């Protein structure tokens, strides 16, 4: 085993391993060590910027779920935009579950709002489902507030995939868009611009949100796509 693998196993919590394995049904439980996220974040902080981290980021693919999560945390800490994108291009093809995908949040992206959308467009058209999910996640995280543009809604609506974790992210994106940009997002439901499953899942998630007003929830319920 590598030194980092030994470190991860030293942080193992068997009860958490069992809990985490149930949350990621697509993962082989034997590949989940069981390291709690605070311990993993602490390790990533200790490694960030070191030669050991640089070597680790080049060692793909990894074997264990926590190795991939550590890899994602190290990418998220990279201060340089180009370096973060390059690291993601190498890493995303190896992401094989929703949890690793969703922890990716590169801090360098916050300083490059003009460049990132074109990169997101490439990601959401990728063949890999978790690369697509990641692209949608970045669109949701960075472009539903001050940098919002109506065209981004069309970009997300244009993602038509059969994979569950991609469809769920499209629904999550539109539910969040309804919370933040209600008037712009509502026509996608009124005019049924999403597929039926995503349409109804969007409404379900939106009406569960405390950020949607009671009046908006009633309006959304009336838009459910029934058989």
Query: Where in the chain are all domains bearing CATH 1.25.40?
Result: 114-227
Over residues 138-146, mean pLDDT: 97
Mean pLDDT, the chain, rounded, equals: 97
Is the pTM above the cut of 0.85? yes
The sign of the dihedral angle between the CA atoms of 164, 103, 49, 43 is negative
Q: For the residues 4-15, what does the mean pLDDT come to? A: 97
Helix and strand numbers, DSSP H then E, in the chain: 15, 0
| CA distance linking residue 218 with residue 215, whole number of Å | 5
Note the pLDDT of residue 219: 98
Tokens (6 digits) for 179: 């919370």
pLDDT in tens, 56-109: 999 999 999 999 999 999 999 999 999 999 999 999 999 999 999 999 999 999
Q: Over the range 189-217, which residues count as b (16 or more CB within 10 Å of their CB) and which as e? A: beeeebbeebbbbbbebbbeeeebeeebb
Q: How far is CA 28 from CA 32, 55, 95, 97, in A?
A: 7, 26, 14, 11
Tokens for 184, please give them. 């712009």
Q: Are 189 and 199 in contact (CB under 8 A)?
A: yes
Tens of pLDDT along 159-210? 999 999 999 999 999 999 999 999 999 999 999 999 999 999 999 999 999 9
End-to-end CA distance of the chain: give it in Å, rounded: 54
Which of 206, 219, 217, 140 minimizes the C-alpha distance to 179?
Answer: 206
Q: Say how many residues make up the chain.
A: 227
Mean pLDDT of the 25-51 span: 96
Q: How far apart are CA 11 and CA 34, in angstroms?
A: 8
pLDDT given for residue 1 in this prediction: 81
**Given a cut of 80, is residue 227 above it in pLDDT?**
no
Per-residue pLDDT averaged across 43-51, rounded? 96
Output the CA angle 114-184-101, nearest 5 degrees: 55
Least Cα distance to 134 among 91, 104, 89 occurs for 104
pLDDT of residue 84: 97
Distance CA 146, CA 168 (A): 24
pLDDT given at position 29: 96
Domain 114-227 class?
mainly alpha
Q: What is the pLDDT of residue 167?
A: 98
Asked whether residue 47 carries a pLDDT value surpassing 90, the answer given is: yes
Q: What is the mean pLDDT of residues 110-124?
A: 96
């Amino acid at each position: 085993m590598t030194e980092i693998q030994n470190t991860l196993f030293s942080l193992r919590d068997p009860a958490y391993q069992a809990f985490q394995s149930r949350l990621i049904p697509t993962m082989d439980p034997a590949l989940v060590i069981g390291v709690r996220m605070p311990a993993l974040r602490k390790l990533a902080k200790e490694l960030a910027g070191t030669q050991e981290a640089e070597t680790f980021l080049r060692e793909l693919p990894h074997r264990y779920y926590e190795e991939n999560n550590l890899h994602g945390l190290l990418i998220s800490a990279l201060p340089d935009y180009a370096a973060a994108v390059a690291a993601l291009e190498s890493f995303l093809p190896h992401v094989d579950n929703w949890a690793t995908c969703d922890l990716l949040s590169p801090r360098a992206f916050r300083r490059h709002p003009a460049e990132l959308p074109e990169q997101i467009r490439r990601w959401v058209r990728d063949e890999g489902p978790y690369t697509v999910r990641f692209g949608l996640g970045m669109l949701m995280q960075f472009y539903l507030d001050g940098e919002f543009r109506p065209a981004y809604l069309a970009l997300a609506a244009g993602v038509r995939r059969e994979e569950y974790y991609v469809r769920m992210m499209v629904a999550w994106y539109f539910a969040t868009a309804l919370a933040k940009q209600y008037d712009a997002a509502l026509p996608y439901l009124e005019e049924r611009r999403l597929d039926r499953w995503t349409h109804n899942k969007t409404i379900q998630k939106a009406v569960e949100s405390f950020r949607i007003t009671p009046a908006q929830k009633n309006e959304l319920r009336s838009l459910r796509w029934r058989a």
